[in-house]
Amino acid sequence: MNEEEPLKEFISKYEKPKILLLDLPEETLQLVRSAGFNAVAGSFGTPYKVEPDGKFLPVITNGNLPKNYAEKEVTIIDLTPPEETIPYPAGVGVRGNEDRWLMQCKQDTIDPRLVQMKEVRNNFDRTLANGGLFVIFAQPRFYQNLHQVKGSNIDTNPSLQLNSLGFLSIFDHFNVNEDYGEEIYILDDDSEILQFFSKNIKDAYYTATLSVSPSSFFIWSPILKNKFDQYVGGLMEIKDSKGHIMILPQMSNKPEFVLALLNEILPVISPDIFPNAESKKWINNDEYQPDSIIKLKEEKIGIQKKAQEEIDKLDKKIENERNQFSFLSGILTSTGRELVVNIKKCLEFIGFEKVIDVDKEIQNGDVDTQKQEDLQIFDKSPTLLIEVKGLTGVPQEADIMQAIKYVNRRMKGWNRTDIRGVLIVNHQHNLPPLDRSNAFTSQQEKDAKGYDIAILTSWDLFLLIKGAMKLGWDHKIIREFFYRTGRISRAPSIYKPLGKVFHYWDKECVVGVEIVEDELHKEQRIGYITPTGYLEEKVTSLQIDNEDVEKASPGQKVGIKTLYSKKQLRKAEVYIVTEGEENILSI
């Protein structure tokens, strides 16, 4: 880290605060200095191009930070990566007994900023704890796996995962998610901070949303949100210190906006580090307030403390529930032996009584056989053979044929024909389920149907169990799925196909449904199968062409008053929920 070269000799009007501008547009420094502020500029560095050949290359930091960066009271950071990369430094290798970091070149870019961020983390934490103020123009968090070099020894296992918010440890408790939008709204409040933003966000847009849970480390005060009520800007007050972090969306006029922040609002947030600010905000300090106001402020703190205690209790309950049902999340993330164990717990949770873990029995010496299917279910005829696969990609023809092969082997070995195969795949397990592609091809579905085996994904099973828990279904409704063949539909046997959503009227909270099958009567119960689960409600109002009706027939389009939002019913299939159990197999 070298002291930056000044553009020209500069004498600031105000000694305090000392300001560090990181990776902001070049004109920002000149504009801030021209207003008299004591500011310097720096950078976390610039990414460089490499060949994506799988080789290991040293991560060479190329940031530019002043030697006294930890002494800066105000640090303003733009996390937007540079638009252009630079060539990888030629002739750089691992020398002697240096401790270095390597990255495997699986992509065509190495971003050394993340190493630079790690190196400043302790000093930035110290600055924050001592009352420092950080302003962050947010970007989505991204990660890099690095490999450590100890002398000439290379550990090729990922030994550290760095991320683009690693310069402050407080962000370990904070989620920043990728998103994009231009509609930004100010929260309904008349505070001076929000009034400032009402005048200064005309050119704002967001590339990330902020997911903030209650924390014992900071107090979160949201400032800006998008049209979906997700936070895109806010202020963190660090507990047990005077430190603050302001997180903001992107601004197309950053230099002017930064100057406005320094002149108008940052002195309000941290008056102690702006001794020359013309604002008289110190008048709100307790020393200059009547006792009645101090008492009210103490009552407010007491309420906040009680609320935090209740939040802590809820957090503990949430953690207990999460631990109790960890097998559910496990079927979406795990592979191999762990996935098999989690699937077995799911099967037992929904009421299967005789679930055999074949691998475990082989290991214990209870059976003398070669490895075949993963699980067996002997609750009734037919016996089910469950093959479980965790895949980074999608199932192949061989995966389908393997399940068929196991059935044929067991029929021959047990001299029985009442045996059926079930293939459960956790495909593309590194992706969130909603981002995964279709698991099975049409040919694979035909093969499964033709050979009388069932195929489904762990996401299907997760949603079925979640739906049963939410809506109070008898678990035999889920067990019945395993005795079907072909690609398993997500529609339980108590759901009769009705139609599909074709429109939604936001103002009236009315969903438009095109009736395709069966009749729909007022007061019947309907169910929606959506990409994220199941919803049910009673039909309290039916309209055709704005006229109230008692029933709707196939071919008609009907408006139904609904409890659910347009977002919830997006891509929903609609069903009539039957009352009896005549459609459920005897399980």
* pLDDT of 258 higher than 90: yes
> In terms of domains, do 301 and 342 share one?
no
Distance of CA 219 to the CA centre of its chain: 21
Section 10-20 average pLDDT: 82
Does the residue 96 lie in any domain?
A: no
Last residue of a domain, one of 278, 293, 308: 278
C-alpha angle with apex 301: 300 to 305, nearest 5 degrees?
120
The answer to whether residue 434 sits within a structural domain is yes
What pLDDT digit, counting tens, does each position of 262-301 carry?
A: 998 999 898 889 887 655 556 667 777 899 988 998 898 8
Question: What's residue 3's pLDDT?
Answer: 44
Same domain, 340 and 478: yes
Least confident of 34-38, 63-67, 134-138, 212-216: 212-216
Q: Quick one: 337 and 314 in the same domain? A: no
| Mean pLDDT value across residues 52-81 | 91
CA angle 393, 399, 405 (to 5 degrees): 175
Are residue 128 and residue 261 in the same domain, yes or no?
yes
Q: Which domain holds residue 483?
A: 327-487
Residues 386 and 341 in one domain: yes
Do residues 315 and 452 both lie within one domain? no
Residue 503 resides in a domain: yes
Q: Verify that 203 and 352 share a domain, yes or no.
A: no
The predicted-structure confidence for 559-572, as pLDDT tens digits, reads as follows 999 999 999 998 89
Instruction: List the CATH number of the domain containing 127.
Output: 3.40.50.880
| Mean pLDDT to the nearest integer, 331-335 | 94
Token digits for 341?
């164990």
Count Cβ atoms within 10 A of the Cβ of residue 537 and give its class: 0-12 exposed, 13-18 middle, 19 or more buried.
middle
Domain identity same for 446 and 394: yes
- Residue 153 resides in a domain: no
Judgement on whether residues 215 and 264 belong to the same structural domain of the protein: yes
Count of structural domains, the chain: 4
Phi-psi region of 35 (alpha: psi -120 to 50; beta: other; left: phi over 0): alpha
Judge whether residue 580 has pLDDT over 60.
no
Please indicate, yes or no, whether the overall pTM of this predicted structure exceeds 0.75.
Answer: no
502 and 483 inside one domain: no
Question: What confidence category does residue 1 fall into, taking pLDDT thresholds of 50, 70 and 90?
Answer: very low
Instruction: Give the pLDDT mean for 118-144.
Output: 93
Query: What tens digit of pLDDT does each residue of 149-206 get?
Result: 766 666 555 568 889 999 999 998 888 889 999 999 998 666 788 888 988 888 899 9
- Alpha-carbon distances of 506 from 25, 196, 491, 515, 575, rounded to whole Å: 42, 32, 27, 21, 22
Tell me what pLDDT residue 585 has.
38
Task: Establish if 52 belongs to a structural domain.
Answer: no
- 476 & 344 share domain: yes
